[in-house]
Structure 1
Amino acid sequence: MGGGRWRRGAGQVGRSVAVWAVSTVTMLVLAGLLPDFQLQSPDGDSATTIAVTAALGAGAFGVLSAVVWPLLVRLLLLVPALVLGLLVFFLNGSLLLLALRVNPAGQAEAAPETAVIVAAVMSAVASATGAALAVRDDDAYRRRLYRLADRRRRRLPPCSSTPGTVVIQLDGVGHDVLRDAVGKGLMPTVARWLGAGPEQPPSHRLTPWRTDWSSQTGASQLGILHGSNHDVPAFRWYEKDTGEVMVSNRPSSALELQRRAAGRTGDGGLLTADGASRGNLFSGGAGELALVLSVAVRRGRGNRSRAGYFAYFSDPANAVRTLLSFVAETAREIGQSTRARLRKEHPRVSRGGLYPLIRAFATVVQRDVVVAAVVGDLLAGRTAVYADLVAYDEVAHHSGPRSRDAAKVLQRLDRSLALIEKVAEHAPRPYRIVVLSDHGQSPGETFRSRYGLTLGDLVRAGCGLPVPRRAEDTYSGAEARAAVRAALRRPVEEHGEDHRPSRRPEPVVLASGNLGLVSFPDVPHRMSQEEIDARHPALLPTLANHPGIGFLLVRSEEHGGLVLGARGARTPLDELDADPGPLAVFGPGAADAVRRTHSFPHTADIMVNSCYDPADGEVLAFEEQIGSHGGLGGAQGLPFLLSPLDCSAPAKDGEELVGAEHVHRVLRRWLREAAGEEEPLAAGAAEAGERAA
């Protein structure tokens, strides 16, 4: 035991000396390349003196980075997260200037702007050197990963020896996209789990599942984490009783949706037992939270949504690496969008303005911080972890779900899964790694680009109201935009989307991918088809007969509910299952999904689903997205569940996984199995009855 401890200590000293030596050489090289960075006096010094100056400067910079940097980051947690990220370079440069000033040799100096460059390069080189030296030493590798864990882990009690469960949500990755990526070799980690290699037994199974009509993160993740997504008809919707627009990625709305789900189920959520929620819209009842939108609305010490930033940025090498990757990703997006514009690719949406920064945040900062938080959870031995990585969803919205840009993101996400798998091998308890998605994405051009007007314009025309000569832009509802605003502590409000619309006769028209919602705020109840026809006789025919619209759902005083189609087609909800029914083109389960949404208290006066072409799987988004989700039609409604073979089968033979609430019950069952608990005999019947109600 003592000999092993001495060998580990000697190894650590050796690695530290090697990192110091490489840093010294790096400083000497930079001094030779940068005119404003000097390691000698104006009169000149010997090579030995210059080398000693560089060694002392590199050593002082390393010590300050290890000691002072974590204190600076903790103090700067009061600063918005993205601002903290931008300050990284300047803080690191300040530490270098301080290191040069306290250097006993007293000969080194650098211009402030040059110090920023030198500090960034030295941090990156030191990090890479330390990681390379630790590859062959499992103990050293584990110690390096532990530095990313929560600083409080030493005060935690010993964890259980039963398996823990970590669930990684790859936002927006459809079942078909995942299978194709595995087949093309883009995701070798997932391919290995599925046994895609020769003579390689699988460790996981891949299962598709069907979303509800509202195929978007708000409905799916609420159902998965809290067991109920009742009364979530879309990504955004108008509630007549409060006069407010609910938006799934607005912190106040997310908190209210979480409260409603907990009240309906009588349960705190999937993660109430020693759980952690990372990068999600909802907490799942977890005690450990980082980058969770539903708590971003809170103020004061109780708001721990940004705790993950400290865990990550407290390491200056990580901060510099992430910021450099951020800059590279921003440049990559500008180059890719420019290439698409020069090639006149179609379909295409605008990718200017702040979008390159939002994409870089989603694909670099959010990914790195969330993965680091999961690493900390694994090494702390937490029982259940649920984390959302939004990178693919954000890029696919603007580049297309099967674009080369999106494929590159899948490759990087696969490397994140490989890191999590590697960390799990060093965790204090065994872990089961579950990977799933909350929805897919369907390709297609936008409704506006094809027809030259928005859904709102079409509704106004049907109501006899004036239509703007130039249609206004509609805003993307992608999760990354809300995450950026929450990080900046700015309210998540969207252009043209009033938090409290006036109760004028003019309709409120909202979009959720290829699902549209039309509400009349001056009428306190959900209007019937008969009432709408009496007020605006041309509206429903205008919408139903438009070639870009697939069907409408309205309440009917005579039939209870009606699905309206072109050429006067009217189908009561209890006749939707006729063969062939009006919704047959949208695939199995469409009729049930529409009937369920019809039962919601806050379903809009008119629910509008765009047309769907099964030949190419395309829909028409009512938002400015060429990869969209939110309604019925195509791959958007078929996500995946990738589960270890150690877990029981998600569904019985011949049974489908339908709805996010069903996925919640499956995950709960796996958590009980991991804890060695028996599933209650009546649970299945009770849950089925609750869903039917």
Structure 2
Amino acid sequence: MRTARWKALGGALLRVLAVWAVSSLTLLALAAVLPDFRLQAVGGESLTRTALTAALAAGAFGLLSALVWPLLVRALLLVPALVLGLLVFFLNGSLLLVALDVVPAGRGQTTPETAVIVAAVMSAASSATSTFLAVRNDEAYRRRLVRLAGRRGRRAGADRGPATPGTVFLQLDGVGHEVLREAARGERPLMPTLARWIGTSHRLAPWRTDWSSQTGASQLAILHGSNEDLPAFRWYEKETGDLIVSNRPSSAAELQRRAVARTGDGGLLAHDGASRGNLFSGGADQVALVMSVAARRGRYNRSRAGYFAYFSDPANATRTAVSFVAEVLREIGQALRSRCRRERPRVRRGGLYPVIRAFATVVERDVVVAAVLGDMLAGRTAVYADLVAYDEVAHHSGPVHRDTHQVLRRLDRCIELIAEAGRYAPRPYRIVLLSDHGQSPGATFRDRYGLTLGDLVRAGCGLPVRRRAGRTASGAEAREAARAALGRPEGTADGDRPGAQPVVLASGNLGLVSFPDVPDRITREELDRRHPALLDTLAGHPGIGFVLVRSVAHGAVVLGPDGGEHHLDTGRVVGADPLAPFGPGAAEAVRRTDRFPHVADLMINSACDPATGAVHAFEEQIGSHGGLGGPQSRPFLLWPAELSPPVPDGTPLTGAEQVHQVLRRWLREADGPQLPVGPGAEESYGRLGPEADDLRR
């Protein structure tokens, strides 16, 4: 026992010396190529004295990074997360300037601008070296994962945790069933880790969303068991005059409160759970980057606390900041290429979008993955994490574009890293992957027809219409997450004007129309008296698939082109069934939404091409979700083979509330073979080399 302890101590000392040596050599190389960086006294000195100066400076910089950096991050706890990310370079450069001050006789000198560059290169070199050495030692590699997680797991020091397995639920936001299948096919699949799992250790199946095929509705039901009275991503509530937008902190908190009150249950993660990067907490006591708690004030329980846990490691901070800048440049280049090639459909990708994309695909991804690693090393029972990178890029590039293929490759490496962490966790872990919805391709409604849904509604009501069609801002989930990270007030979108007559809102290819001056839901008969041309204008438009309205005489009625009607209460169909192009289950999904207290006066679903699954989003998105039609309604569920099938009799899994029940059942199934644990584990999961660097390629 004592011999093993001395051996471990000796190995750690050798790794420290190796990192110190590489850092010293890096300083010498930078001093040779950067004109404003010097490690010699004026007039020159011998190579030996210069090397000694480099070693002293490297050692001082390493000590300051280890001891002072966490204190700086803690002192900056109130600074918004993205601002802290931008400060990373300057803080690191300041530490280097302090380190150079301890070098004797003023040999170490540089300008502040050069110090930023030198510090960034130093952090990258030391991180790569420590990773390279750690992967050759199991215990060192476990500590490396802890460091990447930015925390000491509260049970990470234990030799062994509970014998019962924990479960990690990874949500790949927006990845549809067919997209995942294609990404795992072929000799060189986009997602090789999942390609190895499917058909061997895991099983794959689709499930069908509710009519509202978006993260708010799906995730609320998955985590809290109910999405009752959640008709869309955003809607107008007449009794209060409030606009509810699922990804805004205040709305997410209210939706979670309503779900808990409705079910009387804390949520999927109420027992020793962790919620990472989600809209809702699931009842977890450990939360980070969770929108429903983003407005809380407190040192540890607010959503942004997860950023600071991650950035407290200067190596994490530097890598992520560099990757953030690289992703912004990548998006600018990809957008320019799309314009030069005149790709269609296409939406504008300027303004703040490159920054929003970099936040979703780099910052949020890195922090969420690190938090999951920390949870596994802490031995938590259940972890649910949302990776939003694919969804954000697919909204603007398309669900099967080359841009999204790059994102899928990086997500696969994240999954491999998380699976690898299971080998070093104090308990076995099952990894379940799922998505909350898919995405359907297609040109936007405005691009295809030259006007917005709001313009069409106003025309049908006989109201003035703008000569030039305006734009409806995208409601992608990452935008509000970035605002929360910045500590900015909740944003507003086009159409968020409760005083307007009528109020027209968009949720992907699902549109909602409300008349605020009518206290209850307006009827078809009242609409025909007020605006005789409106329903015919909407139902007869080639870009509209169907319109749901309430009738005094017939109850819930779905109107479609060429006078087609589907009376949901009786099942009677007049003419061509407007719901037929949307497949089996469409009538039941629409009927359920019609019963919601906050269903809009008119619910409008865009048309869908049955052959291609293309729809027309009422927002500026060429990959969209929110209504019925195409792949958006077919997300996936990928589970370990030892767990029971989601539906024993093979019937389709329908609705996010059913998914919640399946996940609850799997949490109760605590027996059977698990992911390998410990040094003797199978090699089938393979170690990542310099894992943090690979994640960002």
**TM-score after normalising by structure 2:** 0.94
CA drift of 1:491 comes to 2.1
Partner of 2:330: 332
Which deviates more from structure 2 when the two are superposed, residues 261-270 or residues 298-307?
Answer: 298-307
The one-character-per-residue Cα deviations of 1:583-632 (angstroms, maximum 9, x if unpaired) are 12111211110000000000000000000001111000000000000000
Partner residue in 2 for 1:410: 408
1:621 and 2:617 are equivalent in the alignment: yes
Contact (CA 8 Å) 1:204, 1:644: kept in 2 or not? yes
Mapped pair 1:501 → 2:505: no
RMSD across aligned positions (CA):
1.6
Match of 1:67 in 2: 67
Counterpart residue number, 1:642: 638
Give the deviation of 1:159 after TM superposition: 4.2
Match of 1:215 in 2: 213
Q: In the alignment, which residue of structure 1 is the partner of 2:193?
A: 189
Q: Report the CA distance between 1:149 and its aligned residue.
A: 5.1
TM-score of the two chains, using structure 1 as the length reference: 0.94
In the alignment, residue 120 of structure 1 is paired with which amino acid?
A
Contact 2:296/2:302 (8 A) holds in 1: no
Letter in 1 for 2:151: D
Given the alignment, which residue of 451, 456, 459 partners 2:457? 459
For 2:191, the aligned partner's letter is M
The offset of 1:311, in angstroms, is: 2.0
1:605 alignment counterpart: 601
* Structural mapping, 1:444-593, within 5 Å: 444-498=442-496, 501-502=498-499, 506-576=501-571, 581-593=577-589
Q: Distance in 2 between matches of 1:640 and 1:130?
A: 38
Q: Specify the SS of the correspondent of 1:168.
A: strand
Separation in 1, partners of 2:239, 2:27:
65
* Aligned amino acid, residue 108 of structure 1: G
What residue number does 1:83 align with?
A: 83
Give yes or no for contact 1:211–1:439 (8 Å, CA) kept in 2: yes
- Displacement after TM superposition at 1:135 (Å): 1.3
User: Which whole-Å deviations, capped at 9, do the CAs of 1:65-87 have from their partners, x for residues lacking one?
Assistant: 01111111111121000000000
- Give per-residue Cα distances to partners, 1:174-220, cap 9 Å, x unaligned: 0000000001401011011114xxxxxx0100010000000000000
Q: Percent identity of the aligned residues?
A: 71
Conservation of the 8 A alpha-carbon contact between 1:475 and 1:494 = no
Deviations, residues 545-600 of structure 1 (Å, cap 9, x unaligned):
00000000001111111000112222210355869743121112111100000000
| Runs of 4+ in structure 1 over 3 Å off | 149-152, 154-159, 300-303, 574-581
Query: d(CA) in 2 for partners of 1:576 and 1:236?
Result: 29
Kept in 2, the 8 Å contact 1:149–1:375? The answer is: no
- 8 Å CA contact 1:577–1:591 kept in 2: the answer is no
Partner-residue secondary structure (3-state), 1:490: coil
- Superposed CA deviations along residues 322-345 of structure 1, whole A, max 9, x for unmatched, are 111111111110000000001111
How far apart, CA to CA, are the structure 2 residues paired with 1:533 and 1:491? 40
- The more displaced of 31-40 and 102-111 is 102-111
Per-residue deviation, residues 459-507 of structure 1 (Å, max 9, x unmatched): 0000000001122211111111011000011122223343x712x6x10
Question: Residue 244 of structure 1: CA displacement?
Answer: 0.7
Compared CA separation, residues 441 and 577, structure 1 to 2 (3 A): farther
| Shift of residue 303, structure 1, vs aligned partner | 3.8
Residue 77 of structure 1: SS of its match in structure 2?
coil
Name the structure 1 match of 2:417: 419
Deviations 1:10-34 (A, max 9, x none): 1111111111111111001101111
Partner-residue secondary structure (3-state), 1:674: coil
Picking from 223, 246, 252, the partner of 1:225 is: 223
Task: Within 5 Å, give how 1:195-206 maps onto structure 2.
Answer: 195=199, 202-206=200-204
Do the aligned residues in 2 keep the contact of 1:377 with 1:385 (CA within 8 Å)?
Answer: yes
From 289, 292, 295, give the equivalent of 1:294: 292
* SS of equivalent to 2:473: coil
> In structure 2, what is the equivalent of residue 662 of structure 1?
658
Residues 514-573 of structure 1, C-alpha deviations (whole Å, 9 max, x = no match): 000000011110101111111100100000000000000001111111000112222210
SS at match of 2:220: helix
Q: Which amino acid aligns with 1:574?
A: D
CA contact (8 A) 1:27 1:58 kept: yes
Contact residue 150 and residue 313 of structure 2 kept, 8 A: no
Q: What residue is the counterpart of 2:685 in the other structure?
A: none
State the alpha-carbon separation in 2 of the partners of residues 314 and 371 from structure 1: 15
* CA contact 1:517–1:606 (8 Å) conserved in 2: yes
Could you say if the C-alpha distance between residues 53 and 547 of structure 1 is closer, same or farther in structure 2, counting changes exceeding 3 Å?
same
Amino acid at match of 2:58: A
Structure 2 counterpart of 1:153, which letter?
A: R
- Residue pairs, 1:100-111, within 5 angstroms: 100-104=100-104, 106-111=106-111
Counterpart AA for 1:89:
F
* CA deviation after TM superposition for structure 1 residue 153, in Å: 1.2
Contact 2:560 2:577 in 1 (8 A): no
Q: Which moved more, 1:9-18 or 1:417-426?
A: 9-18
Report the number of matched residues.
667
Letter in 2 for 1:23: S
